[in-house]
Structure 1
Amino acid sequence: MPTFLLIAAATLLFLHRWPIALALNQEGLHLLQAKRGLVDPGDSLADWDPRDTTPCNWTGVHCSPTGGVIAVRLTNLNLTGPFPADLCRLPTLSFISLSFNYINSSLSSSSLLPCSSLTHLDLSQNLLSGELPSVLPSLPLLRHLDLAANNFSGPIPSSFTVFPFLEVLSLTANFLNGTIPPSLGNISSLRQLNLSYNPFASGPIPSSLSNLTNLEILWLAGCSLTGEIPPSFSRLSKLTDLDLSSNFLTGSIPETLSGLSSVVQIELYNNHLTGRLPSGLSNLTFLRRMDASMNGLSGPIPDDIFSIPNLESLHLYQNQLTGSVPSTAAGASNLFDLRLFVNQLSGQLPASLGSHSPLMYLDLSSNQLSGVIPRGICNGLVLQEFLLIDNNFSGSLPPGLAQCQSLYRVRLSNNQLSGHVPAGMWGLPHVWILELSNNSFTGEITGDIARAANLSKLLIDMNQFSGKIPPEIGLLTELYELSASNNQFTGLLPESLGRLTVLGQLDLHSNLISGELLAGIQSWKKLTFLDIADNNLTGGIPPEIGSLPVLNYLDLSKNNLNGNIPMQLQNLKLNQLNLSDNQLSGSIPPIFNNEAYKTSFLGNSGLCLDPTGLCQNSIKRSQRHIKFLWLLTAVVLLACIAWFYCKYRKVKAAKKMQDESKWTLTAFHKLGFAGFEILESLEEDNVIGRGSSGKVYRVVLGNGESVAVKKLWRFSKKGYQNRDQVVDDAFEAEVATLGKIRHKNIVKLWCCCSHKDCKLLVYEYMKNGSLGDVLHGSEACLLDWPMRYKIALNAAEGLCYLHHDCIPPIVHRDIKSNNILLDAEFGAKVADFGVAKAVEEVEMGQRSMSVIAGSCGYIAPEYAYTLRVNEKSDIYSFGIVILELVTGKLPVDPEFGEKDLVKWVCSTIQHKGEDHVIDSKLDLFYKEEIMKVLHTGLLCTSSLPINRPSMRKVVKMLLESSGESKGKSSPRHEEGNLSPYYK
């Protein structure tokens, strides 16, 4: 009987499977086998159904009219695993694209050889490693090979020079070393060659590449190239795009480049090129974009460069060019982008510049240009950036600027401009920075400013503006900085200023402003800088100033303020306080009775240090009376304290029993403490930090250990429902993210406590605070290079875990030095996940972020125009952190001028050398290792997201960066070896 049952069951199973086996053809079976070797976290291949008769309708599968599979396109599906070799068993397959996935391991020759029909292979943006397969040229029909942005290492195989029909070869952003093989010049069929951003050994550009007469695109950016540009490149008559940027090329730009008759774009920026710009560039009739910035070019700008008929963009900034801007610039009918800043240009601009060109970006800053601004500079009505900082321009502003609605950056400071600002210019709707500082402008700020809805920075200091500050300025909801010092403004401060909720800096010193200081300024939650010194202000200092949570600079000196100094000012964490030369009286708050504030109260004869508030003369006259008052006050105070303490104990005991039931505690680890220990310690004395999302307390538990407690801001007033939602969202995001994470380099979330009016997050306490505070504070000397390297590696490993080991991956979205915390041993952990998002949530439908993600100086450049974030955004921000660790500089600093930290580093290395970017506190014994880490940071901050490495690659680069220190007596050694990467 059992045997019969087994036979019956086997028969039923066979009959059940038989229709499926009959239904799907052999190619479908091969595809299913390929799928089994991949992890598909998003179930993107759910429609690969074995019950179908053919795979031709499956996601990413394309068939010929006869039914054979000819293409498999599985791009950007988060697939993980080795290369699916079963794809090569499809007999008619000619096209494979697996780009933007997590395909890993090495690419073996045996897995590729069966792909004999393959013409197109795209495995870019994956995690493939090892050496490039030397067997690839054996694929007889291959025309397109893209292996960009992987982890391939070693030299380019010698076999690559014998591709029979290859037209596209892209190996950009890997770890290829050795030199660029001159024999690549033998692949006569090549139309595109991209080797950019690989750590090749220093060497010249192979002149043999001139033999590739079919070449249309040649990208060799960031390849450690030295020597001169081969004059023989003129033979590349079909070349449309030449990129030799970010190398170490020397010599002059060869005259023969004028023979590139088909070229559309030439990129030569960030090299060491010298000499004059070549003549004859007007022969390049198809040229649209030319960038030779950040070199050492000298001499005048050739007149004929603007005679190129299709010229759209010309970047020659940061050179040593002399002479004037050629008059032919006015006739460049397609020119929309002209950047000539930081040169030695002089003379006047062509009178009709902009009148016949669709100028969108004009930056002539830091030259010696003079004369008037051309009247038709915005005739095309598309001008967006208008920068003439640090020149000698004079005269008034062209009236046409008032109608230039497209402007969003206007920076004209440090010139000799005068006259009235055209009224409509105050109200340009898209301008976010209007900088007119250090000129001789007169007149008033008109009410038109109410229309400047996007204005964030209004910088008009050191002029001769007069009249009242208009009340319409309170309608500028995006205004962050108002600097109008050293003018002749009069009248009262408009009450509407108090409604500017994002105001961060207010500087009105050295004017004629009268009346009282504003009260009702509680909305200034982001104000850090307040300077209204040297005016005619009267009345008292509003106590509300003491409630501004992040104010650290306060100067109200040289006014006629009177009354007492509010005790609430003691709540502020001030780096600078100046109340001198007023008519203040009474006592100075005790917290200011120290050496740091010794010059803060000069010229106030009525002030004294006595805590009773009586001045010194009165003290001498009534010393006995004061002693009696002190004794009486002490007795009454002690009695009140005793009564209140007894009352407090009773109320607290009763309330504790009532309130604890209202709290919801969710634990993510086994807790060694109770919730009431947290709640009882949320006192102002325990506050260790404040941020945009709330306060952070240090709570010492009964067992002697400490935890950090973040209490999120709440807004109980009517009209703040949206902000409460933001708090709820931040709370939910942080809980959802940290609650499930277990990694040594991610800060541990012990538990969360929630209440209808309060939300708390309880973390492990990090003794040494944030990297930003230590690195940029007085304790920076504690961070030697081994310690900084350890911090970088720890943080990279934490971020790598989020990107690659979480399912789905997590984008932090606010990586910065202040969100990297340090424990007692200066080990680093990533913290603050209030805006973190799962990658699948971010990428679903390519949606933009509804909340601005990131912090100033750390935001990836593409975010400005896409508002989209992904892992590459985090990698850019982490690159900034690396540059901070190497340079000791802040990401945004007035020292950099128009540059950010990335551009400052690149420019300083180019013009002064590597030693000038390394923090002076670091020992140059580690220079070789420091520079490798620096170049990793520069790669992370590449302006093109495609060129940024994955976090796995970043961790690998950091580990390998210390390998060459093994032969030295360094206190830390790691295995591995990596040639320096030069951006």
Structure 2
Amino acid sequence: MRKAELGIVVIYLETLVTLVACLNQEGLYLYELKQSLDDPESRLSSWNPRDSTPCNWYGVTCTNTSVTALDLSDTNVGGPFPGGILCRLPNLSWVNLFNNSINETLTEEISLCGSLLHLDLSQNLLSGPLPRALPGLPRLRYLDLSGNNLSGPIPESYGSFPSLEVLSLVSNLLQGPIPPSLGNLTSLKMLNLSYNPFVPSLIPDTLGNLTNLQVLWLTQCNLVGLIPDTLGNLLHLQDLDLALNDLYGPIPPSIVRLTTLRQIELYNNSLSGDLPPGLGNLTNLRLLDASMNHLTGPIPHDLCSLPLESLNLYENRFQGTLPPSIANSPYLYELRLFGNRLSGPLPQNLGSNSPLRWLDLSSNQFWGPLPPTLCRMGALEELLVIYNLLSGDIPPTLATCQTLTRVRLGFNRFSGEVPSGIWGLPHVYLLELVDNSFSGSISRTIAGAGNLSLLILSKNNFSGPIPDEVGWLDNLVEFSAADNSFTGPLPDSIVNLAQLGILDFHNNRLSGVLPKGIRSWKKLNDLNLANNQIGGTIPEEIAALSVLNFLDLSRNRFSGRVPTGLQNLKLNQLNLSYNRLSGELPRMLAKDMYRSSFIGNPGLCVDLKGLCDGRGQEKSVGYVWLLRTIFVVATLVFFVGVVWFYFRYRNFRDAKRAIDKSKWTLMSFHKLGFSEDEILNCLDEDNVIGSGSSGKVYKVVLSSGEVVAVKKIWGGVKKEVESGDVEKGRVQDNAFDTEVETLGKIRHKNIVKLWCCCTTRDCKLLVYEYMPNGSLGDLLHGSKGGLLDWPTRYKIAVDAAEGLSYLHHDCVPPIVHRDVKSNNILLDGDFGARVADFGVAKAVETTPKGTKSMSVIAGSCGYIAPEYAYTLRVNEKSDIYSFGVVMLELVTGRRSVDPEFGEKDLVKWVCTTLDQKGVDHLIDSRLDSCFKEEICKAFNIGLMCTSPLPINRPSMRRVVKMLQEVGTENQTKPAKKDGKLSPYYYDDASDHGSVA
């Protein structure tokens, strides 16, 4: 046994001697490096210890057999940074470990690598502080630590690098201010500190000393104050990016001295004043993005004479006209000026000299015709000019622009016939011509518009029949053509539109009958054919449209009976008035609340005032006699017993009831099919379905079979802090009044319906529609969370988003919910979502100084937007953040706060886990992996909504649009520009004020 062990030792020693004899010293160091790293893909398999030198190994470069460079980028190796090993290589000058899994902290021993010129550790998992001794590397010229988890402040010593030319610390967790000592790095050519959560601080004036600087990127660095005038000293600067901060004041005039500038990005700040005169001196400028500020004045003529490629000045306060010289820019491909106060005609040669791709001039006061040259170079994709005073015909040249995808000409003064080629453009998915004076008919060439999803033609002078070719548009989701003069019947082919969600042709001259086969409209939500001349019967198959929410067939020539199946639909609005309907109404519709839905139909007979004066001669005498006999007998038999029971137990009954019916006041907000007595009789403990510090919630089954939910609130009691709630000092009376005031005046399919309220001195009742599936929070985080598959969760997200979008964009003034959370999203029997609990909602009325601030915080832990906690400023962005948290709950299946997160909430936990482990560790394991692509898209929407900067959060209207696109088309992902996000993925502003 001992001989065997001795033999093994001998073999090991012989092997070691052989390796030492074969591999030189630097090779041994690198082999030791291999042993210290994880290499799951065996990318270092060529590192063979039997070689004499490592010079032929993967990623190794030698000069005269000495290692000078090591490039292991994108190899997926992991482990701590091997500084102690690498620094033993005397001539090593180049180290590139980009995009790996190098983790732990950077130790001070890295300062021993005295020969290093280039160090790239970007896109790894490094954490902890920046090494203070790193500036001790005398030859270092390039340092990139971007995309890690480094934290703490930038050490003051980082201003003492003797030879540094590139410093990039993008996308870390660095705090503290930007140190003024960085102004000592006079050899620096590129400084990129973007996307770090620095404390609010000024741009150091000393950065003006970096006279060799070519690139300065300080995007989203929490910068405040003025842009220092000293930046005008950076005479070699080519790219200046100060976007996504809170800078204010004017753009310094000294910036026009930077004649080498090619790109200026100042978007999403609070800059004011005019664009500085002399911008025409920047003869190399290709991109200027100063959008979403408060800039004023005219657009300088000398700016528009530059060879620009992209000009984004949207959402400012510019006035004046558009300089004709803008059309002379030979490289201009993007021009976005919407949301200003510009007027005058458009340059008629715009697009003739440049490959124009994106043109958005919406929400200005431009007048005159569209330039015929917009698509001369054949590149135009988006033409957005809504809300202007433009007039004339659509230029025929646009009919041949095959690259167009979005055309929005609405809310102008255009006239004439639409060129036939426009109808059939193959890539257009949105064609909006609403509120103009267009005439003529829809051309049969529309058959070629295979990508068309939204066709919006309302409020024009279109006429003629609807062509059969419309039925070939398989992707059509909305067809709105109200307030025109279309004639003839709806084509039979229209039933082929399986994706159709909205069909609106009210106020036209349509005739004929409804086509057969409308049951194929499985996704139809809104059908409005009011005020036409359509006849025939209302088909029974209309009851198969299970998601139908709005049905208006009023003022037509429909006859026959009302389909029985209509009573099974969950309609938010029903209007069949002023037709020729006859017979008796279905039982569930023969209620007072539906009276106005059926007036003007003389043949209908039901005991509702205004619909039928009596039961007429149709009732047989025998039936009446039998009914009276039964009544008399019943009266004689039970009269004595009933009277005795009443007097005997009246006092007992009244004592048992805590509610005196005689003192109740009823306020209804819809037509009711019940009385307050019917509600009060059911408020016993057997019907309680929920309770809290404010009161109880009862399930009440009415005599008609309908079910309602009743919230009983005791007056005069302060609301205590419940689990997750942080609102303090609110009185329940205020919450009740707010709920009644808000829900009493709004109507939407995704807002919980408040039927009525009942009040007395000591108690208040709110009567809502009943939601069989309870709240999203209880269901998602309870034992039945597995029932919510991804399609159901997606439907809930869309419904809730549409409800909030209605509050933000369609209510005047807008309403902010202030307590959006999963427990305040209720689910009906089909898992349709309703936004509920408006006890702390506020109408947003802006003051001259901005948005009104509140005296207390309202909301729930984990859902409160970070800026709301310290500014108390009420606006829609707070709701959007809370909705984003709900989106993350739907994707992850996690609660907004959880002991597992420690001191973090769901948003912070998601961001940390995403960076460290990836998205696969975040998706709820109960969800089917086949939906992963759609889930990831929804997850990205949740991240956008929970952006720490309110200005980065999309509007709810934009959120609805993005959610609707999930699963139906590939979304355009944010482009990256040398490692940083391009500003052009913020598309929200282009969809303001209209259907999208």
Aligned residue for 2:863? Answer: 788
Q: Is the 8 A contact 2:825 2:836 kept in 1?
A: no
3-state SS of the aligned residue for 2:537? coil
Aligned residue for 1:284? Answer: 282
Kindly provide the amino acid, as one letter, of the partner of residue 777 in structure 1.
V
3-state SS of the aligned residue for 1:204? coil
In 2, Cα distance between the equivalents of 1:249 and 1:207? 14
Structure with larger RCO (C-alpha < 8 A, sep 6+): 1
In 2, Cα distance between the equivalents of 1:187 and 1:453? 58
2:628 is the counterpart of 1:564: no
In 2, Cα distance between the equivalents of 1:294 and 1:186? 33
2:218 is the counterpart of 1:208: no
Q: How has the CA–CA distance of structure 1 residues 787 and 586 changed in structure 2, closer, same or farther, with 3 Å as cutoff?
A: farther
In 2, Cα distance between the equivalents of 1:348 and 1:523? 47
**Which of the numbers 913, 920, 940 marks the counterpart of 1:810?**
920
3-state SS of the aligned residue for 1:478? coil
Deviation at 1:73, TM superposition (A): 3.3
In 2, Cα distance between the equivalents of 1:890 and 1:251? 25
3-state SS of the aligned residue for 1:539? strand
In 2, Cα distance between the equivalents of 1:487 and 1:161? 69
2:836 is the counterpart of 1:778: yes
Question: How high is the sequence identity, in percent, across the aligned residues?
Answer: 45
In 2, Cα distance between the equivalents of 1:521 and 1:543? 10
Deviation at 1:414, TM superposition (A): 0.4
Equivalenced residues, count: 740
3-state SS of the aligned residue for 1:465? strand
Kindly provide the amino acid, as one letter, of the partner of residue 521 in structure 2.
W
**Which of the numbers 470, 480, 484 marks the counterpart of 2:481?**
484
Q: How has the CA–CA distance of structure 1 residues 455 and 43 changed in structure 2, closer, same or farther, with 3 Å as cutoff?
A: farther
Deviation at 1:453, TM superposition (A): 1.8
Deviation at 1:798, TM superposition (A): 7.6
1:144-163 correspondence runs (5 A): 144-163=142-161
In 2, Cα distance between the equivalents of 1:542 and 1:58? 77
Segments of structure 1 that go 5 or more residues without pairing to the other structure are 630-684, 686-690, 699-704, 714-726, 732-765, 816-828, 838-850, 859-873, 902-939, 949-983
Aligned residue for 2:97? Answer: 98
In 2, Cα distance between the equivalents of 1:327 and 1:40? 60
Kindly provide the amino acid, as one letter, of the partner of residue 4 in structure 1.
K
Kindly provide the amino acid, as one letter, of the partner of residue 264 in structure 2.
I
**Which of the numbers 352, 362, 370 marks the counterpart of 1:365?**
362
In 2, Cα distance between the equivalents of 1:320 and 1:35? 60
C-alpha distance after superposition, 1:336-363 (max 9, x if no partner): 2111111111111223222233221111
Deviation at 1:3, TM superposition (A): 2.1
**Which of the numbers 500, 509, 531 marks the counterpart of 1:534?**
531
Deviation at 1:200, TM superposition (A): 2.5
2:943 is the counterpart of 1:879: yes
Q: Normalising by structure 2, what TM-score?
A: 0.67
Aligned residue for 1:180? Answer: 178
Aligned residue for 2:227? Answer: 229
Kindly provide the amino acid, as one letter, of the partner of residue 246 in structure 1.
L
1:103-142 correspondence runs (5 A): 103-110=102-109, 112-142=110-140
**Which of the numbers 233, 240, 247 marks the counterpart of 1:249?**
247
Q: Normalising by structure 1, what TM-score?
A: 0.68
Aligned residue for 1:3? Answer: 2
In 2, Cα distance between the equivalents of 1:489 and 1:469? 7
Q: Is the 8 A contact 2:426 2:451 kept in 1?
A: yes
Aligned residue for 2:302? Answer: 304
Deviation at 1:525, TM superposition (A): 3.1
C-alpha distance after superposition, 1:485-510 (max 9, x if no partner): 11111112122222223222222221
In 1, Cα distance between the equivalents of 2:80 and 2:246? 37
Deviation at 1:878, TM superposition (A): 2.7
In 2, Cα distance between the equivalents of 1:12 and 1:293? 73
**Which of the numbers 447, 450, 453 marks the counterpart of 2:447?**
450
Kindly provide the amino acid, as one letter, of the partner of residue 333 in structure 1.
P
In 2, Cα distance between the equivalents of 1:794 and 1:203? 26
Deviation at 1:539, TM superposition (A): 2.0
Q: Is the 8 A contact 1:587 1:615 kept in 2?
A: no
Aligned residue for 2:238? Answer: 240
3-state SS of the aligned residue for 1:345? strand
Deviation at 1:399, TM superposition (A): 1.2
Deviation at 1:225, TM superposition (A): 2.5
2:348 is the counterpart of 1:348: no
Aligned residue for 1:741? Answer: none
**Which of the numbers 508, 522, 526 marks the counterpart of 1:525?**
522
Aligned residue for 2:169? Answer: 171
In 1, Cα distance between the equivalents of 2:115 and 2:954? 54
Deviation at 1:947, TM superposition (A): 5.9
In 1, Cα distance between the equivalents of 2:185 and 2:81? 27
Q: How has the CA–CA distance of structure 1 residues 597 and 196 changed in structure 2, closer, same or farther, with 3 Å as cutoff?
A: farther
Q: How has the CA–CA distance of structure 1 residues 831 and 342 changed in structure 2, closer, same or farther, with 3 Å as cutoff?
A: farther
Kindly provide the amino acid, as one letter, of the partner of residue 920 in structure 2.
I
2:957 is the counterpart of 1:893: yes
Q: How has the CA–CA distance of structure 1 residues 775 and 525 changed in structure 2, closer, same or farther, with 3 Å as cutoff?
A: closer
Aligned residue for 1:907? Answer: none
Q: Is the 8 A contact 1:697 1:708 kept in 2?
A: no
3-state SS of the aligned residue for 1:134? coil
Deviation at 1:394, TM superposition (A): 1.1
Q: How has the CA–CA distance of structure 1 residues 417 and 188 changed in structure 2, closer, same or farther, with 3 Å as cutoff?
A: same
In 1, Cα distance between the equivalents of 2:12 and 2:838? 72
Q: How has the CA–CA distance of structure 1 residues 519 and 232 changed in structure 2, closer, same or farther, with 3 Å as cutoff?
A: same
1:359-508 correspondence runs (5 A): 359-508=356-505
Q: How has the CA–CA distance of structure 1 residues 185 and 517 changed in structure 2, closer, same or farther, with 3 Å as cutoff?
A: same
Q: Is the 8 A contact 2:941 2:962 kept in 1?
A: no
Q: How has the CA–CA distance of structure 1 residues 519 and 26 changed in structure 2, closer, same or farther, with 3 Å as cutoff?
A: farther
Q: How has the CA–CA distance of structure 1 residues 69 and 578 changed in structure 2, closer, same or farther, with 3 Å as cutoff?
A: farther
Segments of structure 2 that go 5 or more residues without pairing to the other structure are 628-705, 707-749, 751-771, 775-781, 794-821, 841-857, 865-894, 898-903, 965-972, 982-996
Deviation at 1:197, TM superposition (A): 2.4
Q: Is the 8 A contact 1:697 1:709 kept in 2?
A: no
3-state SS of the aligned residue for 2:208? helix
3-state SS of the aligned residue for 2:415? strand
In 2, Cα distance between the equivalents of 1:771 and 1:541? 31
1:933-944 correspondence runs (5 A): none
Q: Is the 8 A contact 2:786 2:926 kept in 1?
A: no
Q: Is the 8 A contact 2:61 2:70 kept in 1?
A: no
Kindly provide the amino acid, as one letter, of the partner of residue 345 in structure 1.
L
Deviation at 1:217, TM superposition (A): 0.1
**Which of the numbers 332, 349, 354 marks the counterpart of 2:329?**
332
Kindly provide the amino acid, as one letter, of the partner of residue 343 in structure 2.
S
Q: How has the CA–CA distance of structure 1 residues 6 and 246 changed in structure 2, closer, same or farther, with 3 Å as cutoff?
A: closer
C-alpha distance after superposition, 1:934-958 (max 9, x if no partner): xxxxxx999889669xxxxxxxxxx
C-alpha distance after superposition, 1:659-703 (max 9, x if no partner): xxxxxxxxxxxxxxxxxxxxxxxxxx9xxxxx9xxxx999xxxxx
Deviation at 1:413, TM superposition (A): 0.6
Q: Is the 8 A contact 1:227 1:250 kept in 2?
A: yes
Q: How has the CA–CA distance of structure 1 residues 509 and 138 changed in structure 2, closer, same or farther, with 3 Å as cutoff?
A: same
In 2, Cα distance between the equivalents of 1:79 and 1:380? 48
Kindly provide the amino acid, as one letter, of the partner of residue 151 in structure 2.
S
Q: How has the CA–CA distance of structure 1 residues 395 and 477 changed in structure 2, closer, same or farther, with 3 Å as cutoff?
A: same
Highest Rg: 1 or 2? 2
In 2, Cα distance between the equivalents of 1:805 and 1:293? 34
Q: How has the CA–CA distance of structure 1 residues 542 and 900 changed in structure 2, closer, same or farther, with 3 Å as cutoff?
A: closer
**Which of the numbers 197, 215, 225 marks the counterpart of 1:199?**
197
Q: How has the CA–CA distance of structure 1 residues 768 and 427 changed in structure 2, closer, same or farther, with 3 Å as cutoff?
A: same
Q: How has the CA–CA distance of structure 1 residues 466 and 119 changed in structure 2, closer, same or farther, with 3 Å as cutoff?
A: same
Q: Is the 8 A contact 2:253 2:277 kept in 1?
A: yes
In 1, Cα distance between the equivalents of 2:2 and 2:385? 94
